[in-house]
Structure 1
């Protein structure tokens, strides 16, 4: 069987706040939680596990592929919340989306300071 992505732990200053943010933005499903983890499930059974680490953590980058309709809903929510966002990872084009790779994309920060990217077409 080829390897498939199963789960990731996303370091969180506030796991409940992070789970709520991702649930709304990604339209993720609730999943059973255990131990220090607050879990959500996205497509293909992938778990996003939110937990407070015992140490300070550097920001990470998480990119999510969504369809055009989902992108429109997510982008409308970003704008409605007045959330900072950029068309590029260098954050030189604020308040914009991009049209690279034949689709649309946007970059933003989550409540714990991780870099998120929403794209409508895969890079490859």
Structure 2
């Protein structure tokens, strides 16, 4: 059997607000009827991001994580348009996340931005 990432937990201050943000920016569906301990967003047939409230935990501050998504050119355009429409700061490098530029590594396009919890989200068309 091939190893495939099925789901991962995304720590959040407010699981529902974070799931809504992610679904909105990435153009995905979010069904509040599915919210339980986690607020799940299905990314594709093989991957779900489960947003979980970190405030219920007592093991330190919310960690800042990095999530990279390889997308096609049309998906990049659509997601990037939503980033710009919402006035979200973005950047061309992992440590230049607010220079308002995209990168063109390996002949593709890439951009970094943060979600409301500070997680670094990366879009890339060539990986």
Q: TM-score, normalised by structure 1?
A: 0.89
CA displacement at 1:93 relative to structure 2: 6.3
SS in structure 2 of the partner of residue 95 of structure 1: coil
Q: Structure 2: which 5+ runs fail to align?
A: none
Distance in structure 1 (CA, Å) of the matches to 2:44 and 2:36: 23
Aligned residue pairs: how many? Answer: 122
Change (3 A) 1:93 1:9: closer
2:25 matched residue in structure 1: 25
Q: Structure 1: which 5+ runs fail to align?
A: none
* Structure 1 runs, 4 residues or longer, greater than 4 Å off: none
Residue 115 of structure 1, aligned match among 106, 120, 124: 120
The alignment yields a C-alpha RMSD, in angstroms, of: 1.7
Q: TM-score, normalised by structure 2?
A: 0.87
Deviations 1:27-63 (A, max 9, x none): 2233673541011101233111001121422200000
